[in-house]
């Protein structure tokens, strides 16, 4: 590989929900731009993470988890968003988890069948495998499922072997001028990142209680000298869900607001004044027009 030539390309990170796609992107970039939680379908949007090193620029595309079942407009949107990326990229990182291979992994594999771009299989969470002897035969079995450019075992959470994955990606990038300035790390606005941080804290705080039909919309994002004034609406579908999100005596909303504010101050490098409201918009997650109005656009 000629390292004096400029290389650049789009790299899709794809897989079923909860295999660690967003954790991998944040690890590669060295900072959080994609929210994470243990809850499936935390990622709802296509998010670019841009890593520029010397002559190389890899534009990673984090995608929602490809899943089976789920008939609502939101589920259809998530699957369309993930699948539509595949036709546009130069490299694909197909993520799976440890020794598991599920029906949804098989479904992603079928989606990859017509893809012409090289596909790297990234086997995540290998740090959790108690019987390390089982890993090698499992990797060999996976390698036979299609022609992969490489099979890379790693732990995105601990950053183990992520550098090896990055090296493989860089070798596969086409010769091209860079698409973005070298100091840019994402295509998403600060407003978008602020909304996502609120949603992440809600997801982590409420766990299984959290209504899937929940989204966050930024109403105000205003710079006042060294202060950022941000106000956001948390949309739910039913009054009962509103009570869950607010919590008894407002405890949940206060906790979420405090944690989101601290993360925003770290990300934006300034003091943040954050206000949150919870409002009800019935049926928004199964309404294509409502989804578009709330920023769910492909």
Residue 197 has pLDDT above 60, yes or no: yes
Sign of torsion over alpha carbons 203, 209, 210, 212: positive
- Tell me which DSSP letter residue 186 carries: B
Residue 234 — pLDDT band, cuts 50, 70, 90?
very high
Q: How far apart are the first and last CA of the chain?
A: 35
Residue 243 has pLDDT above 70, yes or no: yes
Q: What is the pLDDT of residue 249?
A: 93
What are residue 96's phi and psi, to 5 degrees?
-130, 175
Share of the chain above pLDDT 90, in %: 52
Q: Where are the domains of the chain?
A: 7-172, 190-293
Q: What is the pLDDT of residue 9?
A: 96
> Could you give the CA distance from residue 43 to residue 62 in angstroms, rounded to a whole number?
8
Q: Which among 96, 69, 64 is positioned nearest to 81, based on CA atoms?
A: 64
What are residue 7's DSSP bridge partners?
Answer: 56, 175
Residue 11 has pLDDT above 90, yes or no: yes
Residue 66 has pLDDT above 90, yes or no: no
The β-bridge relationship of strands 47-53 and 56-62 is antiparallel
Q: Which of 60-69, 152-161, 261-270 has the lowest mean pLDDT?
A: 60-69
pLDDT (tens digit per residue) in 247-260:
999 999 999 999 99
CATH superfamily of 190-293: K homology (KH) domain (3.30.300.20)
Under CATH, to which class is 7-172 assigned?
alpha beta
Across 105-114, average pLDDT:
90
What are residue 145's phi and psi, to 5 degrees?
-75, -25
Residue 203 — pLDDT band, cuts 50, 70, 90?
confident
Q: What is the pLDDT of residue 96?
A: 96
- Count how many Cα atoms sit within 13 Å of the Cα of residue 217 in the half-sphere of its side chain: 17
Q: What is the pLDDT of residue 37?
A: 52
pTM: 0.77
- Tell me which DSSP letter residue 176 carries: -
Across 10-35, average pLDDT:
87
For residue 94, CA distances in Å to 28, 36, 66, 130, 266 come to: 15, 18, 11, 23, 31
pLDDT (tens digit per residue) in 167-176:
999 999 999 9
> Could you give the CA distance from residue 210 to residue 203 in angstroms, rounded to a whole number?
6
pLDDT (tens digit per residue) in 281-296:
887 666 667 666 656 5
Structure tokens that stand for 23 in this block: 């954790």
Judge contact between 245 and 253, C-beta under 8 A.
yes
* pLDDT mean across residues, the chain: 86
What are residue 228's DSSP bridge partners?
Answer: 223, 272
Q: Which among 196, 194, 236 is positioned nearest to 212, based on CA atoms?
A: 236
Neighbours of 86 (CB within 10 A): 20
Q: What is the pLDDT of residue 1?
A: 55
């Amino acid at each position: 590989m000629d390292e004096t030539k400029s290389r650049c390309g789009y790299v899709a990170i794809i897989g079923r929900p909860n295999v660690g796609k967003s954790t991998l992107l944040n690890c590669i970039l060295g900072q959080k731009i994609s929210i994470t939680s243990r809850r499936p379908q935390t990622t709802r949007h296509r998010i670019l993470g841009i890593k520029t090193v010397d002559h190389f620029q890899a534009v990673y595309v984090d995608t929602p988890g490809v899943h089976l079942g789920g008939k609502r407009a939101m589920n259809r949107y998530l699957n369309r968003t993930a699948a539509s990326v595949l036709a546009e990229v130069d490299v694909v990182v197909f993520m799976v988890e440890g020794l598991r291979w599920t029906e949804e992994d098989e479904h992603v594999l079928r989606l990859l069948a017509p893809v012409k771009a090289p596909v790297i299989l990234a086997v995540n969470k290998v740090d959790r495998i108690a019987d390390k002897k089982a890993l090698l035969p499992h990797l060999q079995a996976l390698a036979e499922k299609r022609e992969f450019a490489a099979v890379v075992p790693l732990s995105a959470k601990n950053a183990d072997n992520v550098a090896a994955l990055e090296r493989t990606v860089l070798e596969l990038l086409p010769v091209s001028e860079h698409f973005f300035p070298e100091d840019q790390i994402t295509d998403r606005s600060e407003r978008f990142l602020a909304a996502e941080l609120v949603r992440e804290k809600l997801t982590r705080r409420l766990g299984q209680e959290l209504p899937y039909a929940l989204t966050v919309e930024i109403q105000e994002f205003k710079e006042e000298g060294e202060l950022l004034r941000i106000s956001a609406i948390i949309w739910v579908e039913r009054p009962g869900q509103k009570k869950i999100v607010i919590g008894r005596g407002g405890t949940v909303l206060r906790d979420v607001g405090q944690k989101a504010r601290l993360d925003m101050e770290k990300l934006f490098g300034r003091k943040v004044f954050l206000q949150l409201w919870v409002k009800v918009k019935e049926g928004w997650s199964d309404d294509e027009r409502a989804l578009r109005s709330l920023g769910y656009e492909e």
